[in-house]
Amino acid sequence: MTLEQEKNPWEAQAARFDYAAKKLNLDDGIWKILRYPTREIIVHIPVLMDDGTIEVFTGYRVQHSMARGPAKGGIRYAPDVSLDEVRALASWMTWKCAVVNIPFGGAKGGVICDPKHMSQGELERMTRRYTAELIPFIGPEKDVPAPDMNTNEQTMAWIMDTYSMHVGHTSTAVVTGKPVNLGGSRGRKEATGRGISVCCDEALKYLGMTIEGCRVIVQGFGNVGSNAAHLLYKKGYTIIGITEYDGALINLNGIDVPALLEHRAKAGTINGFAKADAFDKDELITQPCEILIPAATENVITSQNAELLRCRILCEGANGPTTTVADDILAEKKVFVIPDILANAGGVTASYFEWVQDRMGYFWTEAEVNQRLDVIMSESFKDVMKYAESHAVDNRIAAYMLAIDRVAYTTKQRGMYA
Ligand SMILES: NC(=O)c1ccc[n+]([C@@H]2O[C@H](COP(=O)([O-])OP(=O)(O)OC[C@H]3O[C@@H](n4cnc5c(N)ncnc54)[C@H](O)[C@@H]3O)[C@@H](O)[C@H]2O)c1
């Protein structure tokens, strides 16, 4: 297999799905239903650019499954968005929502564009036209988008507004990840990092390890990585290394994460932080530690470097950071993997809370959000461990098996409408 094939997200998803489905002795018909998305929408969106010319952008929305509830998943803006990638991410969302047992299916969207070279006005017009094209397919009961790569609270506010104008009333529950004053949820920003910290706590308990002396390395200091590092720091973990795209820091006595956050806010980079040493960014993730958290992007642990990792636990903050070939290498090395569809599910769980609060019109305190999130994450961790033990499979396959079992059960119970 070439490195390019190894990194294809659809192949990676399909390989794990097939393996888990086989282990479950999944009925042939259900297998066929769940292997492919329910609906794939392609739109070509004309946008008036600032210089008066018209550009046409291609956008996708893939709805993988709606068996357990409305489809749920982010929208990304990037030059390399492809249908295969959006398909894979949509399926991952189905499995992720099922692992944490929330009543959503899976979807994902994307527009091929280069947002770094577009003005706010161009981005707003593109977002509104993309939303307008999707009006028949999205909605609080149908499909609920959220932010993903290069989209944010503002993008969600534009989608919410456009959708509301079309249906004739304000509909906050059509998207999640909104600003708090527009129906967003308290605690959403920190939720993915928070879920990761709960998984780390549970993994230590499961493996008979302690927080004291537990060294953590985090790759990526964005939303997920910085919140995970901060929460783990507050719980007493020793964050010894942090990498970013432009540099890395190490301090074997522990990095003062609040001080680093302050430094980054002022300097715009983690580099130059006085209380840690600079380090080679590619080598940092191979340094000895108890927990490694890839929280940057996909395909960072591959056949090329898996052998070199020296962590006891790999807690996947990013989506798809590990390839299937790397999975086999890590299994041989007995690395305890907390797979992405469990580890980073805190984000979609808080999105579910946002949707619930919008539909109730009653908003929870941050403490209530956090408390409910902690319960769901720790129960889901235990559910995955039960599957791993009873089926004698690794944690990733266990998470897939749990998810597929739940979606297959609902699909069978609803019956075929054909
Ligand atoms: N934000 C969420 O709630 C959420 C939920 C689930 C999964 N995820 C996944 O987590 C990952 C990170 O998401 P985010 O929201 O934190 O994004 P982000 O853009 O806020 O942060 C990513 C960070 O990683 C850094 N980075 C990029 N490439 C790197 C590299 N090769 N080495 C080191 N650092 C690198 C970037 O500079 C950035 O600071 C993505 O895979 C995303 O799909 C995010």
pLDDT at residue 66 in the model = 97
pLDDT of 2 over the 80 cut:
yes
For residues 230 and 257, the answer to whether their CB atoms sit within 8 Å is yes
Q: What b/e string do you get for 161-191 counting C-beta neighbours within 10 Å, with b at 16 or more?
A: bbbeeeeeeebbbbbbbbeeeebbbbbbbbb
Q: Give the nearest ligand 1 atom to 298 CA.
A: 41
Give the whole-angstrom CA distance, residue 262 versus residue 250: 17
CA of 168 to the centre of ligand 1 (A): 36
Task: Tell me the pLDDT tens digit for each residue of 55-114.
Answer: 999 999 999 999 999 999 999 999 999 999 999 999 999 999 999 999 999 999 999 999
Give the whole-angstrom CA distance, residue 62 versus residue 106: 9
pTM greater than the 0.85 cutoff: yes
pLDDT at residue 12 in the model = 87
Average pLDDT over residues 208-231: 97
Average pLDDT over residues 350-354: 98
**SS3 for 406?**
helix
CA of 345 to the centre of ligand 1 (A): 14
pLDDT at residue 11 in the model = 87
pLDDT at residue 240 in the model = 98
Atom 32 (ligand 1) nearest CA: 245
Ligand 1, residues 192, 230, 353: which to mutate, most atoms within 8 A of Cβ? 192
pLDDT at residue 68 in the model = 98
Residue type at 143?
A: D
Q: Give the nearest ligand 1 atom to 317 CA.
A: 10
pLDDT of 418 over the 80 cut:
no
Other beta carbons within 10 Å of 29: 11
CA of 340 to the centre of ligand 1 (A): 13
Task: Tell me the pLDDT tens digit for each residue of 24-37.
Answer: 999 999 999 999 99
- CA quadruple 346, 347, 353, 356: dihedral sign: negative
pLDDT of 205 over the 80 cut:
yes
Rounded to 5 degrees, what are φ and ψ at 41? -110, 130
Atom 31 (ligand 1) nearest CA: 245
Give the whole-angstrom CA distance, residue 142 versus residue 134: 11
Find the residues whose C-beta lies inside 6 A of ligand 1: 192, 219-225, 243-245, 295-297, 317-319, 344, 347
pLDDT at residue 254 in the model = 98
Ligand 1, residues 223, 281, 340: which to mutate, most atoms within 8 A of Cβ? 223
From the number of C-beta atoms within 10 Å of its C-beta (0-12, 13-18, 19+), residue 392 rates as exposed
For residues 211 and 260, the answer to whether their CB atoms sit within 8 Å is no
Ligand 1, residues 297, 302, 352: which to mutate, most atoms within 8 A of Cβ? 297
Task: Tell me the pLDDT tens digit for each residue of 158-195.
Answer: 999 999 999 999 999 999 999 999 999 999 999 999 99
pLDDT of 5 over the 90 cut:
no
pLDDT of 416 over the 90 cut:
no
Q: Give the nearest ligand 1 atom to 320 CA.
A: 41
**SS3 for 234?**
helix
DSSP state at residue 296: S
Mark whether 116 is an active-site residue: no
Task: Tell me the pLDDT tens digit for each residue of 332-345.
Answer: 999 999 999 999 99
pLDDT at residue 9 in the model = 87
- CA quadruple 294, 255, 244, 278: dihedral sign: negative
Predicted confidence band of residue 417 (pLDDT cuts 50, 70, 90): confident
CA of 8 to the centre of ligand 1 (A): 19
Predicted confidence band of residue 385 (pLDDT cuts 50, 70, 90): very high
pLDDT at residue 228 in the model = 98
Q: Give the nearest ligand 1 atom to 296 CA.
A: 24
Q: In 3D, which of 372, 227, 323 has the Cα closest to residue 11?
A: 323
pLDDT at residue 1 in the model = 81
Provide the percentage of residues in the chain whose pLDDT is more than 90.
Answer: 95
Q: Give the nearest ligand 1 atom to 348 CA.
A: 5
Q: Integer distance in angstroms from the first to the last C-alpha of the chain?
A: 39
Predicted confidence band of residue 410 (pLDDT cuts 50, 70, 90): very high
Give the whole-angstrom CA distance, residue 253 versus residue 255: 7
Atom 38 (ligand 1) nearest CA: 222
Atom 6 (ligand 1) nearest CA: 344
CA angle 159/359/111 to nearest 5° reads 20
Average pLDDT over residues 274-292: 97
Question: Active-site residue among 72, 96, 108, 178?
Answer: 108
CA of 402 to the centre of ligand 1 (A): 26
pLDDT at residue 4 in the model = 87
